[in-house]
Amino acid sequence: MVNLFSHRKLPYAYPRGILTPVRGRYWHLTPVIIYLLSEITEVEKPLLQKTRILKRAFTLPVPWFRSTRGGGAIVLGTRKRPLIIFTENFFLREIYGRNARYYGNRLDVWLDMLSHEVGHVAQLDRIGAPAKYVLSFAWQYLRTMSHNRAPLEKEAETGRKRYRSFVHHIRNKGLMKEYYTLLRADSADEAKISQIRQWITEWKKASQTKNA
């Protein structure tokens, strides 16, 4: 039996390079990640700039995924203040135990998940009736404990497919190590973005050729 409360005493961590803490209450995506996700998923930058990332807390009992089964994320909030809430295991590091579901330092898992969730942020902005929209989603998560084949899910999934295609391109070029090193580096955002821009341009060119 899973004990969700066992996580409470563990020190939490967040993935550097992806998130910036804001007043110790929530996180924003870093400018580099906003650039990357926006270019790849086509979700608008201003929307990603105002998106807050939160860790699920007991005062915030969603998404009701079990962290030990991989956990997940859910988009809540309003158009003005979109929230992406991740389960605790996304803020725990593997060094705290031999748990493969501790994603606190897993940029690959974070970005794969974010490339899907930002699609829901765009939907929240487009539909603009947060209560109704969000409640239906919350119930979906609670009832099914998984994503279903709803059109909104399929739509959000196209962003993830595009991101996976980009990662595939990076891997084919033998640049995986460089890619994650760059994201974690302390170098200036402009330098990071300029490198990422180049990779994205190459990826877009390559996928056009393939689809022609």
Q: Which is nearer to Zn ion, 43 or 170 (CB)?
A: 43
Rounded to 5 degrees, φ, ψ at 74 are: -145, 145
* Site string (154-173) toward Zn ion, x via CB under 5 A: --x-----------------
Q: How far is the CB of 84 from Zn ion (least distance, A)?
A: 11
What CA–CA distance (Å, rounded) separates 114 from 63? 15
Number of residues that bind Zn ion (CB under 5 A): 3
**Beta-strand relationship, 73-77 and 26-29:** unpaired
Q: How far is the CB of 43 from Zn ion (least distance, A)?
A: 13
Region of 23-31, 144-152, 159-167, 190-198 interacting with Zn ion (CB under 5 A):
144-152
Sheet holding 26-29, edge to edge: 19-22, 26-29, 52-55, 82-86, 73-77
Q: Which is nearer to Zn ion, 113 or 167 (CB)?
A: 113
Asked if residue 29 lies in contact with residue 37, where contact means CB atoms within 8 angstroms, the answer is yes
Q: Which is nearer to Zn ion, 140 or 192 (CB)?
A: 140
Q: Which is nearer to Zn ion, 148 or 201 (CB)?
A: 148
Per CB under 5 A, contacts with Zn ion among 75-134 are none
Asked if residue 34 lies in contact with residue 43, where contact means CB atoms within 8 angstroms, the answer is no
> The dihedral of CA 137, 139, 142, 143: what is its sign?
negative
Residues of this chain that bind Zn ion (CB under 5 A)? 147, 153, 156
